[in-house]
Structure 1
């Protein structure tokens, strides 16, 4: 365990480097009001911290910068989460109250809000769409074998998808099927529609449908939701403002990754427990993130984990502010989504 003096020096180096992006020297630390020891003592402690792996020394500078081990110690032991000012908190609440009135728009807006509050790239995984309840279904024929299904859920989510109509199903049968769904399946979670059809109204369907299996195949297409559609990004270009990523060759793999919803979905899906999780540099599984930190936090609906918000930035991230903002934002988001869900 580090001594109190070593912890103080490490904390100051991390916080100074986060703001300046320049290596930190002993003279800079000695000028801080809370420091009462000499530059020589600081240099000795910095050398020890470097030897233990908490600091690194760029070849071109006499100053030190935090290592990934140093950032991890800072996050785990030295960080006190930032609190939004009353004015910032008021503005955040006002955005949610004034601009959003349905769950999907809440989640989309959250990505923009989070990126603007942190100045990093925000990643948001929307609630499990299959938990949403069916409010209305419409099926619009495009040809004999194709149609567009429009699903409206209780949360305001609208899903449009092209489906293939199995051979032998007439337009009249499709109309009867849609009418039955809208009449009998209203307020049933999408993931339970098929099982409820089988258990409760199978006989009714058999009575009206000549192509029962074909109709159930059509239903599978309608209620299947691509998980990647739940990914929302905010402030993607914020990464361009970081000195670490001014090298285009270093930046390109990261931007390519952000364009792939499946990859971002998998990144956010790694967290399935409540609370905040910080992954620094090589703690991330993806090679593109070896120089990045990813902070994720879960939000809830009626006390159950519903989705994840995340912030992606350089390892030289302002951890204190980001963690504090995410704690407060996810609390507000959980409260709002719970109210919308009821």
Structure 2
């Protein structure tokens, strides 16, 4: 059990190190108005905190820095969200100033603004595309033997695919195909699209579309929907500007996670409701052991959700980040839900 004095010294030590990125010594703490103690008293208490595992001694200085245990205690027991300056609030709201028609555009812009506001790396996991339901389908002939399939979902998501059409096919067949697809597939989830094509649409094509075998095979291949592209980044390289990252091997591994790891969406989806903070080794990927990840979920309507994450050093400005994410998650949920319902 920490004493009141130890709690105060630990809190000020963490705050100071977050701001300065320099080891904290007792002499500099004794000059702070919130610590009315002598340098010797503070030094003794810092030694006690080190012995309990909340602080660590650095190799290059007599100062101390927070340990992972210290950060965890600080986050769990001392973290009070900091009010955002008006200019930050206005920058967050600017995400929604432009009328964007697709949910992906809003999410992509959110990632960019977040990275600018925090100087860290922002990662947004979009809703599961497979759960999107089809609003309408369009077929646009491009050449004599190709066409563009457009699938628009209730969320405003648009899938675009070019597929082959049999040469010499009468244009009336294309029109009939569009009517059949919209009649049979409107309201169907993208994850069920392939099944419904095979079970319902193929039989109708057989009755009403000339050369249906070639056309159906091409269309079916074109509309396979992947969920791999629903991760959006802002400021991938921002984290490299932090003085905490200087090991080139670790930097390369971290960039590898950002570039292609299939594990990242699962990491961002993990955790319970509200703000979740994972510090250092609490992250399941070794490449992120020097990072903290702060995540929060957002809703898209009643049944879909996504995640927002800030990836930064363990020496992250948690008070500011928590407020930013809490604000954005609420605003993003309202905006995307309005887009779904057309309001």
Where in structure 2 are the equivalents of 1:99-248 lying within 5 Å?
Answer: 100-134=100-134, 135-138=136-139, 149-161=149-161, 176-193=176-193, 204-208=204-208, 221-248=221-248
Higher alpha-carbon deviation: 181-190 or 26-35: 181-190
Q: Which residue of 1 aligns with 2:291?
A: 292
SS in 2 for 1:236: coil
In 2: Cα distance, 1:52 partner to 1:211 partner: 77
Unaligned residue ranges in structure 1 (runs of 5+): none
Task: Describe the superposition over 1:214-239 as per-residue Cα deviations: whole angstroms up to 9, x where unpaired.
Answer: 87766664453222200110011211
- 1:70-113 CA-partner distances (Å, limit 9, x unpaired): 11111111010122233422332233123534311101101001
TM-score (norm 2): 0.86
Match of 1:124, SS state, is strand
Greater mean alpha carbon deviation, residues 135-144 or residues 184-193: 135-144
Is the partner of 1:300 in helix, strand or coil?
strand
SS in structure 2 of the partner of residue 275 of structure 1 = coil
After TM superposition, give the deviation of residue 244 of structure 1 in Å.
1.7
In 2, Cα distance between the equivalents of 1:24 and 1:234?
Answer: 31
TM-score by length of 1: 0.86
CA-CA distance at 1:147 after TM superposition: 7.1
Q: CA deviation at 1:213?
A: 8.7
What is the distance in 2 between the residues matched to 1:164 and 1:10?
66
Work out whether residues 137 and 149 of structure 2, in 8 Å CA contact, stay in contact via their aligned partners in 1.
no
Aligned residues: 338
Q: What RMSD over aligned residues (CA atoms) do the two structures have, in Å?
A: 3.0
For the Cα contact (< 8 Å) 1:294–1:312, is it kept in 2? yes
1:265–1:211 Cα change, 3 Å: farther
Matched residue SS, 2:293: strand
Report what 2:62 is aligned to. 62
- Give deviations 1:168-226, integer Å, cap 9, x for gaps: 99956777444311344234332344565678777644533699898776666445322
Given the superposition, is the C-alpha separation of residues 99 and 245 from structure 1 closer, same or farther in structure 2, using an over 3 Å criterion?
Answer: farther
The answer on whether the counterparts of 1:194 and 1:219 sit within 8 Å (CA) in structure 2 is: no
In 2, Cα distance between equivalents of 1:290 and 1:211: 57
CA–CA distance in structure 2, aligned partners of residues 64 and 335 of structure 1: 44
Taking the aligned partners of 2:198 and 2:308, their CA distance within structure 1 comes to 36
